[in-house]
Structure 1
């Protein structure tokens, strides 16, 4: 991920939704925390990767109402996501992701999803 260009954060965010564990291994901090709706709940570190092994990925994702703020070596993205998978009903959630610069590269350190209707 590029170090100072905002679009690369949105590209990385898209990859997390669409790609498998490779994106997480490459772009996620080992100490990351994630909060998902039940039954998944709160996950950290290796448990995040483990939960993705057999999970179906999204075919397409759209981000709306995108907001971002950067404070020093921290970037926070907030958005409304609409995920599409096969013929299933679209999944809509308010999301936030926090990235931190570690040893010169940006890593995802936190992600949360709040499903909407």
Structure 2
């Protein structure tokens, strides 16, 4: 998967339908998110997404892509997302594994929201 496709895929996980999300998340996926229960399996994350409105606008910056071995892609980035008046920003990582031609699944995802300084 080339870099443009990687970033289109990652953005789609924030904005696309819950059905697309479910098709893209591996059964063995593990996630760490900045809200309880914090640590989730792929199935728990899929269920949570079904109950959450999708983001309307997503801007991804500070993009990094690594390919540590064939069939594995790791991305790290900063995201700013919004829906209506709600705003969200986090640093994220995702890891994809290759299953078959044009078929990649997320096996790891983490979001970290930086603490605000009191300065």
Q: TM-score range by the shorter chain?
A: 0.7 to 0.9
Within 1, Cα distance between the matches of 2:28 and 2:58?
26
Question: Partner of 2:113 in structure 1?
Answer: 115
Question: Partner of 1:59 in structure 2?
Answer: 56
Contact 1:20–1:52 (Cα < 8 Å) also in 2:
no
Question: Partner of 1:19 in structure 2?
Answer: 16
Question: Partner of 1:77 in structure 2?
Answer: 75
Deviation, structure 1 residue 61: 0.7
Distance 1:40 1:17, change over 3 A: farther
Deviation, structure 1 residue 85: 1.5
Within 2, Cα distance between the matches of 1:115 and 1:20?
24
Structure 1 unpaired stretches of 5+? none
The normalised TM-score by structure 2 is: 0.87
Deviation, structure 1 residue 50: 1.0
Within 1, Cα distance between the matches of 2:24 and 2:98?
11
RMSD, aligned α-carbons: 1.4
The normalised TM-score by structure 1 is: 0.88
Structure 2 unpaired stretches of 5+? none
Number of matched pairs: 113
Within 2, Cα distance between the matches of 1:77 and 1:23?
19
Moved over 3 A (4+): none
Within 2, Cα distance between the matches of 1:34 and 1:78?
14
